[in-house]
Amino acid sequence: MAAMFRRLPALAGLAAVAGIGAEVAGHRAFTRLVRRDVQALRAGASPGRAGVVTEEMLADLPDPVRRYLRYTGVVGRPFPGTIWLRQKGTMRLGPRWLPFDAEEHYSVRPPGFVWAGTARAGRFPVARARDIYAEGHGRLSVKVASLWPVVDASGEQMDQAEMLRYLAEMIWFPAAFLAGNISFEPVHDSSARVTLTDHGRTATATMFFDTQGRLTAFVAKRYRAPGASDPVTWSTPITGYGQFEGLRLPAGGPAVWKLPGGDFAYIEVAVTELRYDTAPEPEQVAR
């Protein structure tokens, strides 16, 4: 999606001219939209699957996937229904890398997420974005400082792109890999293909693991932007692990497009907080 942001540096100057008052009003409107999306996601979410993850549930999985789930520590743990996390990191906006902070909400049944992020230059908000997957459809909208829309992407290619994003981010609630809408196919002792089925569509990727069972990378063919003729190889290598909700989960890493001219990293993410089945207070959403 990085190609969409080429106009942001120039438009950010307009945001500065617009003044603080207009930005505040735009931010309030942005916050209302995010809260609406989050409320809809949570209202439609089913509770976590009854019971806990058992060793028997892993029996039919490919060997590397069994090692991975054991490593995370999900055996003996309950199935979450909704998930909330907070991120920080840097993202590429045009030629520049800027810091950002974000919050994300997930539903396991049905699959869905709402991501809201803000990129900043110093203390000044350069861009705010909403990224959504719900009811089988994806949408990305970006505004400069909450004021000027520069991206409003939807359609079949966005549906596929956001479905793959959801599948990749299930690594933060790995018990969901045991759901009936997920299937695995062995590839090698250190990899397996995973497929998510939702609303009549499928999304497939390859997961790579080390000998301890840690996930090291997630690789798929994904559309880089609406209107692209073909999907591009997309990778999210894992660069660190942490303890969240009593589990060993990825704590961060980049997202990379594998292009003919070389790798193009466009975001670097670090997870700072993660909670299962607990909604944040309203003022925490899209702060």
CATH number of the domain that 46 lies in? Answer: 2.50.20
Q: Is the confidence at residue 283, as pLDDT, over 70?
A: no
What integer is the mean pLDDT of 248-260?
97
Q: Coil, strand or helix: which one is 277?
A: coil
**pLDDT confidence of residue 145:** 63
Q: Which two tokens stand for residue 200?
A: 């009549």
pLDDT digits (tens, 9 = 90+) for 39-79: 999 999 999 999 999 999 999 999 999 999 999 999 999 99
Number of domains in the chain: 1
- Average pLDDT in the chain: 89
Has residue 171 got a pLDDT over 80? yes
**Res 10 pLDDT > 90:** no
Among 16, 254, 247, 275, CA closest to 123: 16
Structural domain of residue 246, as residue ranges?
A: 2-284
What would the mean pLDDT of 175-200 be, rounded to a whole number? 97
Stretch 227-242: mean pLDDT: 94
Distances 93 to 96, 119, 227 between C-alpha atoms, Å: 5, 9, 20
Of 266 and 5, the one with more pLDDT: 266
What whole-number distance in Å separates Cα of residue 256 and Cα of residue 89?
15
